[in-house]
């Protein structure tokens, strides 16, 4: 299928272009109607031509919701949407506001649509202007889950626009090919005697040559023998099972007629044993392939995983789809083209010569001999070699390289580059250029001869070099297409990606460019004693240099010699150069470097860098990345607990990475707070107004401070600033050298021209000055004036004034030789006396964090939140081995996150104040969980009697009393009445000795935060109940916080979280109550079934329960009555058979939620 906004057939060229497109792709014209194509699956196609007006487009998006079919029916939307989804889908013109993208994204989110994988051009519309050009993606293809399931290989191709300003879109169902699976050992083969015979046959062959090679050949022979057997295929086992089932049923029918026939009985027994044997084989294969053990221990709901698999399935065939744009191409043609391409890539015609660069590299031994690498085994194990090579990498690779080297961090390069560019952009380095170089096929085109020569030059023993040569040479490749291996060809160049040894070897090759630049006399950026020419992270190269023709010619020669030696050529089309303002010889510089892509900012390791202040639009990639991670199926398929984990470990990591290299504008921070809060509580990051019961600042606190453990952006910036200060003094690196050389000290007042990042670091340093202490070492770069090295004071503070006659810009290590102080002649005598009394330590960390030389990032985070009051109930909400879902809901109850009547009324939302369950008291959190008689009735009906008796004893009441006193009754002054009289009325059958030592618990009216429940003085005396007796057993904690808090909270979840407000609220709750009352009566009747009968139905029960969970998530009403019946039986079975509390809680939670959604 094809869609093209041709702008009407008002010109002959447009007609001819359409004919050419139809003929090229063999398309059939469709006039409005339905076409039946043989037995092909049905689908729904919606052709989109959206208006230029945003209001008209919004009306169109709303109408699509009425046209949407069921989720499992294939639906595709194709055409001109006249709007893009993300700001990154537009280049040129005015930047797009994220508010303008809300309507389209909301429609996609509401209808559970995703972008179909596309090949070809990224942008589909061009304004046809040479001045101020604009490129934007207006045309697209959207599909639903049903389409992905029916057409997993489908894709769309963006073709050339020809005579129109829009590009045509070709929708293709993909290449339908037979899927070939690679050879996989099946565990059930060991049950066949013929397998063991074949194994003994191949292993009995005489060994000739290398034992490892002989063993590999034996495995190949065994593979061929096994594949020739019928039982090697699982389909053969399935077919044989069908025959056995028919034979078994036939024998059983004959036994009904002649039950005393001995031959029939013997045959039936043999058939039963044979059937059990092959059933076991088939089950073994299913367990092996489906990884049942992982599924059992993993997520209960795997829709998130399967949705991700569906999304990536189309992307995995992108290369095949790209070649398949020509309908005449066959799969064989595609395979041949791919194999020829990779053969040329891994076998270059003219290999580089390693001897051309001997003069640039010093000969001799660079590797310390005392650290010589020793191997204890003759087996060429790449992991062992990599482990031996890893410790010496910092010694043999220059500190410009931050990739794959221990203790070097990529974000340090980003921070260093950002600060240097700010320095140059302020006028201090006006004659500076910055170039980002892109290396062509870096890992795939490395010269192996150069690598081996490089290892020898570094001083590695010849035996070790030969081991590495054996690992990288003689490597053959095959191409994996849709699970099938195609081709088999050798290689003479390149390193295998995924090999544990390859990153270290590649860094050794890239280190050559550092030697080339050092030997060539290339001038980089220089400030005092600091000089820098380039930064490396694997194959990402960033060059800093003097913007002169002579200097650029030297760089061009370096790049040419580096390419001829290593086989790593620069892709000048993808490289970019950035120059300062008022640069006169711009064209000449570009001509000498062959880089003509002049930009105002460079993306280095994903972060924008510029000589000048970044604009808001420079952070649009970050906003787009956050929106993409939050929108679509991720939000639809994750629960509240899942979204919390997703924000904490995925979204926050994205933000944290950007913070290391830039200061986020306030508008970005504001957008992140709003989007994250909506995503967490509502599963929707759009701009629709929502009622937020808990602020995002309250959420972004540690758990022990009453939050959810998500660090705020301010906390991340604070912690990263502390880590930079620690690195500055304790870790020698280009970043620390630059900071010490140019900025001197973080406690020195920053200049007005300094970067915002450095100013933030200085402010953080002043705030945590009391946490950092100095220890004088031989190489300590401690500033004499600004650092507080003298008894935690600066020298001026210690002496009561600034010392006279001393330069203000020098470090203490300039006065140290070995372990002795060496003072100049003009040095004041009072300072000599002060310094003479300070001992000089050995080389080590000179800056301590709270008198400790080691630190963790968590220590800085804890210091940021140290001013907040600690929360005494966090251990009860977040116990060890807790279920995250349960803990999050309990936290919401304690933090005021539930939409109860009193909480809504404080926000001027008019709702009935009376509890809609018992109609007796006002609806509050404390009432719903502790006072409501109806909630108590539900607990007594769903929980076993033994649990109920434990809930009523003194220990649990003490927990309630303690929590209420500490928390202030769950938020400062809610009404709560817990009396012995009510407990006795609820459980008159309990003996008085089951709650010893308890009198009346009253309610003194006091100020919020004071004790809200008074206990008698003898209530918890040491003689009756001590602390260990009260909470010594987790048995009493779990029923209270998992049964009371969670079960009843789930019963009220739909009302409280979704916020049913107004007159419908009371009717809705009443309907829920009637439904639950009826179900509880059915539970009582069903409980008369014997435990033995329920045990026999255990497998069926859990299978039906799983189906009920799917009904719950999908919101289907089909088979709802059967679902309820089986889930009710599950609750009764779990209670009567003494199942674990976790299983019973899960069954009860799902059952109550199912009832709620039925009523809704």
Tell me which of 678-687, 801-810, 901-910 is least confident.
Answer: 801-810
Task: Give the model's confidence band at 369: pLDDT under 50 very low, under 70 low, under 90 confident, else very high.
Answer: very low
> Which residues neighbour 1020 within 8 Å (Cβ) at sequence distance 6 or greater?
958, 997, 1026, 1030
Paired strand residues for 78:
47, 141
644's torsion region: left (phi>0), alpha (psi -120 to 50) or beta? alpha
Structure tokens at 517: 């630049």
Give the span between the Cα atoms of 580 and 451, in whole angstroms: 37
Give the range with max mean pLDDT: 23-27, 200-204, 566-570, 1138-1142. 566-570
Give the span between the Cα atoms of 511 and 399, in whole angstroms: 10
Q: Above 60 in pLDDT, residue 972?
A: no
H or E segment to which residue 66 belongs: helix 54-67
Give the span between the Cα atoms of 1156 and 1160, in whole angstroms: 6
Q: Are 836 and 821 in contact (CB under 8 A)?
A: yes
Tell me which of 38-52, 631-645, 950-964 is least confident.
Answer: 950-964
Comparing C-alpha atoms, which of 970, 986, 874, 962 is closest to residue 927? Answer: 970
Give the span between the Cα atoms of 637 and 716, in whole angstroms: 29
Q: Above 80 in pLDDT, residue 732?
A: yes
Mean pLDDT of 490-514: 90
Structure tokens at 893: 């109850």
**Coil, helix or strand for 77?**
strand
Task: Give the model's confidence band at 1072: pLDDT under 50 very low, under 70 low, under 90 confident, else very high.
Answer: low
For residue 243, how many other CB atoms are within 10 A of its CB? Answer: 10
Give the span between the Cα atoms of 24 and 327, in whole angstroms: 8
H or E segment to which residue 541 belongs: strand 540-546
> Which residues neighbour 891 within 8 Å (Cβ) at sequence distance 6 or greater?
708, 877, 878, 897
Give the span between the Cα atoms of 1061 and 903, in whole angstroms: 12
Name the pairing type of β-strands 139-143 and 114-115. antiparallel
> Which residues neighbour 906 within 8 Å (Cβ) at sequence distance 6 or greater?
none
Give the span between the Cα atoms of 714 and 230, in whole angstroms: 65
Q: What is the DSSP letter of 537?
A: E
Q: Above 90 in pLDDT, residue 722?
A: yes
pLDDT at 712: 93
Give the span between the Cα atoms of 776 and 840, in whole angstroms: 5
> Which residues neighbour 64 within 8 Å (Cβ) at sequence distance 6 or greater?
46, 77, 107, 111
Per the listing, tokens 């744009």 go with 325
C-alpha of 724 from chain center: 25
Burial pattern 981-997, b for ≥16 Cβ within 10 A else e, equals: eebeeebeeeeeeebee
Q: Above 70 in pLDDT, residue 676?
A: yes
Name the pairing type of β-strands 139-143 and 847-849. unpaired
Burial pattern 644-677, b for ≥16 Cβ within 10 A else e, equals: bebbeeebbeebbbbbbbbbbeeebeebbbbbbb
Q: Are 901 and 922 in contact (CB under 8 A)?
A: yes
Q: Are 685 and 627 in contact (CB under 8 A)?
A: yes
Comparing C-alpha atoms, which of 305, 1106, 1051 is closest to residue 642? Answer: 305
pLDDT at 1009: 32
For residue 945, how many other CB atoms are within 10 A of its CB? Answer: 10
Comparing C-alpha atoms, which of 542, 550, 499 is closest to residue 523? Answer: 550
CATH number for the domain formed by residue range(s) 2-172: 3.60.10
Structure tokens at 534: 């380039």
Give the span between the Cα atoms of 450 and 446, in whole angstroms: 8
Q: Give the orientation angle of helix 620-630 with respect to helix 652-659, to 10 degrees.
A: 170
61's torsion region: left (phi>0), alpha (psi -120 to 50) or beta? alpha
Burial pattern 128-161, b for ≥16 Cβ within 10 A else e, equals: eeeeeeebbbbbbbbbbbbbbebbebbbbbbbeb
Give the span between the Cα atoms of 918 and 929, in whole angstroms: 12
pLDDT at 311: 61
Q: Are 76 and 171 in contact (CB under 8 A)?
A: yes
Strand order of the sheet with strand 90-91? 90-91, 135-136, 125-126
Residues in the chain: 1160
Long-range contacts (CB closer than 8 Å, 24 or more residues apart) made by 682-686: 683/635, 683/636, 683/638, 683/643, 684/109, 684/635, 685/626, 685/627, 685/630, 685/631, 685/635, 686/102, 686/105, 686/106, 686/109
Give the span between the Cα atoms of 703 and 840, in whole angstroms: 42
pLDDT at 307: 61
Mean pLDDT of 221-239: 86
pLDDT at 729: 92
How far lies 157's CA from each of 335, 1113, 1120, in Å?
Answer: 20, 34, 43
For residue 1023, how many other CB atoms are within 10 A of its CB? Answer: 8
Q: What is the DSSP letter of 230?
A: G
Domain ranges of the chain: 2-172, 187-297, 355-609, 616-693, 881-1051, 1063-1160
Higher pLDDT, 46 or 1045: 46
Higher pLDDT, 262 or 536: 536
For residue 418, how many other CB atoms are within 10 A of its CB? Answer: 24
Give the span between the Cα atoms of 496 and 516, in whole angstroms: 26
The per-residue pLDDT for range 790-832, each reduced to its tens digit, is: 888 888 887 776 666 666 677 888 888 877 888 877 777 777 7
One-character DSSP codes across 562-580: HHHHHS--B-TTT-EEEE-
Q: Are 717 and 659 in contact (CB under 8 A)?
A: yes
C-alpha of 366 from chain center: 40
Percent of the chain at pLDDT exceeding 70: 70
pLDDT at 180: 58
Q: Are 498 and 519 in contact (CB under 8 A)?
A: no
Per the listing, tokens 């963006």 go with 158
Q: Are 156 and 116 in contact (CB under 8 A)?
A: yes
The per-residue pLDDT for range 839-860, each reduced to its tens digit, is: 888 777 889 999 888 888 999 9
Q: Are 626 and 651 in contact (CB under 8 A)?
A: yes
Give the span between the Cα atoms of 448 and 493, in whole angstroms: 6
Q: Are 1004 and 981 in contact (CB under 8 A)?
A: no
Mean pLDDT of 621-649: 81
Q: What is the DSSP letter of 1002?
A: B
The per-residue pLDDT for range 1000-1025, each reduced to its tens digit, is: 333 332 333 333 233 322 323 333 33
Give the span between the Cα atoms of 1134 and 1083, in whole angstroms: 12
**What's the chain's average pLDDT?**
75
Paired strand residues for 525:
532
Structure tokens at 267: 């045959």
The per-residue pLDDT for range 1077-1124, each reduced to its tens digit, is: 555 555 444 444 433 343 334 334 434 444 443 333 333 333 444 444
Give the span between the Cα atoms of 307 and 631, in whole angstroms: 13
Give the span between the Cα atoms of 321 and 313, in whole angstroms: 12
């Amino acid at each position: 299928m094809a869609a093209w906004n041709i702008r009407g057939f008002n010109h002959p060229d447009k007609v001819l272009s359409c004919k050419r497109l139809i003929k090229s792709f063999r398309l059939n014209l469709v006039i409005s109607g339905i076409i039946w194509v043989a037995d092909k699956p049905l689908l729904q196609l919606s052709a989109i031509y959206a208006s230029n007006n945003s209001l008209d487009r919004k009306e169109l998006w709303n109408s699509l919701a009425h046209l949407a079919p069921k989720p499992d029916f294939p639906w595709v939307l194709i055409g001109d949407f006249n709007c893009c989804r993300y700001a990154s889908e537009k280049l040129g013109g005015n930047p797009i506001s994220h508010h303008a993208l809300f309507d389209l994204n909301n429609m996609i989110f509401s209808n559970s649509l995703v972008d179909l994988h596309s090949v070809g051009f990224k942008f589909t519309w061009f304004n046809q202007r040479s001045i101020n050009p604009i490129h934007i993606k207006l045309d697209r293809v959207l599909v639903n889950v049903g389409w992905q399931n029916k057409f997993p290989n489908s894709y769309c191709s963006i073709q050339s626009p020809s005579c129109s300003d829009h590009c045509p879109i070709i929708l293709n169902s993909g290449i339908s090919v037979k899927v070939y699976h690679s050879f996989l050992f099946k565990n059930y083969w060991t049950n066949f005697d013929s397998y063991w015979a074949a194994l003994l046959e191949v292993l009995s062959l005489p060994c000739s040559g290398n034992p490892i090679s002989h063993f590999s050949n034996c495995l190949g022979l065994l593979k061929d023998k096994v594949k020739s057997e019928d039982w090697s295929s699982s389909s053969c086992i399935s077919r044989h099972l069908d025959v056995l089932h028919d034979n078994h049923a036939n024998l059983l029918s004959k036994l009904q007629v002649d039950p005393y026939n001995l031959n029939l009985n013997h045959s039936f027994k043999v058939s039963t044993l044979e059937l059990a044997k092959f059933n076991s084989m088939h089950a073994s294969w299913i367990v092996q392939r489906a990884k049942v053990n992982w599924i059992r221990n993993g997520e209960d709901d795997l829709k998130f995983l399967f949705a991700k698999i569906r999304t990536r399935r189309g992307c995995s065939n992108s290369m095949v789809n790209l070649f398949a744009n020509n309908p005449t191409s066959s799969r064989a043609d595609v395979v041949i083209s791919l194999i020829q391409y990779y053969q040329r890539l891994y076998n270059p015609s003219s290999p580089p010569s390693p001897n051309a660069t001997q003069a640039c590299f010093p000969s001799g031994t660079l590797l310390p001999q005392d650290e010589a690498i020793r191997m204890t085994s003759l087996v060429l194990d790449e992991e062992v070699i990599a482990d031996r090579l890893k410790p010496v990498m910092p010694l043999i690779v220059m500190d410009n390289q931050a990739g794959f080297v221990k203790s070097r961090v990529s974000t340090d390069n980003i921070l260093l580059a950002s600060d240097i560019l700010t320095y140059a952009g302020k006028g201090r380095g006006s004659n500076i250029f910055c170039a980002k170089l892109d290396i062509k096929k870096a890992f795939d085109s490395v010269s192996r001869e150069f690598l081996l020569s490089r290892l020898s030059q570094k001083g590695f023993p010849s035996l070790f070099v030969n081991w590495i040569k054996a690992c990288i040479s003689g490597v053959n490749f095959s191409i994996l297409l849709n699970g099938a291996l195609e081709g088999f060809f050798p290689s003479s160049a390149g390193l295998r990606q995924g090999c544990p040894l390859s990153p270290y070897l590649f860094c050794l090759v890239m280190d050559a460019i550092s030697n080339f630049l050092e030997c060539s006399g290339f001038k980089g950026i220089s400030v005092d004693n600091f000089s820098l020419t380039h930064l490396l992270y694997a194959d990402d190269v960033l060059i800093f240099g003097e913007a002169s023709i002579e200097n650029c010619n030297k760089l061009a020669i370096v790049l040419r010699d580096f390419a001829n030696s290593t086989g790593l050529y620069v892709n000048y089309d993808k490289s970019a150069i950035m120059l300062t303002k008022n640069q006169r010889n711009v064209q000449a510089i570009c001509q000498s470097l062959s880089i003509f892509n002049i930009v105002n900012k460079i993306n280095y390791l994903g972060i924008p860098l510029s000589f000048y202040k970044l604009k808001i639009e420079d952070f649009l990639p970050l906003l787009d990345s956050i929106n993409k991670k939050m929108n679509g199926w991720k939000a639809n398929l994750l629960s509240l607990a899942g979204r919390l984990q997703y924000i904490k470990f995925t979204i926050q990591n994205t933000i944290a990475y950007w913070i290391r290299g830039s200061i986020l504008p306030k508008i970005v921070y504001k957008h992140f707070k709003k989007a994250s809060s909506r995503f967490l509580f509502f599963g929707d990051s759009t701009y629709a107004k929502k009622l937020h019961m808990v602020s995002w600042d309250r959420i972004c606190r540690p758990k022990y401070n009453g939050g959810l453990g998500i660090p705020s952006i301010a906390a991340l910036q604070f912690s990263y600033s502390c880590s930079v200060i620690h690195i500055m003094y304790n870790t020698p690196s280009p970043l620390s050298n630059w900071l010490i050389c140019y900025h001197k000290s973080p406690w020195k007042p920053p200049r007005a021209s300094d970067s915002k990042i450095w100013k933030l670091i200085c402010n953080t340093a002043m705030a945590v000055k009391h946490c950092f202490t100095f220890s004088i070492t031989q190489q300590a770069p401690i500033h004499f004036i600004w650092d507080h090295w003298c008894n935690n004071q600066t020298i001026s503070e210690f002496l009561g004034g600034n010392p006279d006659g001393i330069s203000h810009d020098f470090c203490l290590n300039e006065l140290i030789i070995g372990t002795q102080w060496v003072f100049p002649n003009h040095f004041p005598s009072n300072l000599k006396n002060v310094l003479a009394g300070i001992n000089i330590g050995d080389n080590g960390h000179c800056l301590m964090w709270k008198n400790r030389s080691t630190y963790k990032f968590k220590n800085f985070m804890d210091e940021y939140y140290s001013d907040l009051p600690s929360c005494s109930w966090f251990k009860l909400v977040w116990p060890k081995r807790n279920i995250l879902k349960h803990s999050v809901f309990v936290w919401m109850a304690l933090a005021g996150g539930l939409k109860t009547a009193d909480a809504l009324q404080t926000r001027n939302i008019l709702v009935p104040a009376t509890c809609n369950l018992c109609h007796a008291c006002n609806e509050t959190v404390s009432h719903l969980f502790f006072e409501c008689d109806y909630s108590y009735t539900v607990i007594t009906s769903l929980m076993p009697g033994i649990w109920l008796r434990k809930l009523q004893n003194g220990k649990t009441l003490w927990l309630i009393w303690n929590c209420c006193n500490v928390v202030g009754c769950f938020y400062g002054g809610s009404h709560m009445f817990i009396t012995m009289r009510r407990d006795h009325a609820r459980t008159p059958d309990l003996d008085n000795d089951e709650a010893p030592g308890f009198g009346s618990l009253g309610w003194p009216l006091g100020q919020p935060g004071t004790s809200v429940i008074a206990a008698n003085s003898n209530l918890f005396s040491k003689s009756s109940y001590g602390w260990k007796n009260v909470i010594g057993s987790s048995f009493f904690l779990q029923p209270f916080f998992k049964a009371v808090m969670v079960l009843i909270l789930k019963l009220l979840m739909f009302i409280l979280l979704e916020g049913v407000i107004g007159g419908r609220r009371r009717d809705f709750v009443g309907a829920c109550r009637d439904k639950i009352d009826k179900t509880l009566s059915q539970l009582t009747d069903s409980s008369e079934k014997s435990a033995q009968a329920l045990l026999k139905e255990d497998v069926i029960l859990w299978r039906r329960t799983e189906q009920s969970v799917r009904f719950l998530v999908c919101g289907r009403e089909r088979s709802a009555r059967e679902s309820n019946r089986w889930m009710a039986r599950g609750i009764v079975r779990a209670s009567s058979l003494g199942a674990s509390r976790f299983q019973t809680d899960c069954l009860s939670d799902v059952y109550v939620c199912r009832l709620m959604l039925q009523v809704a």
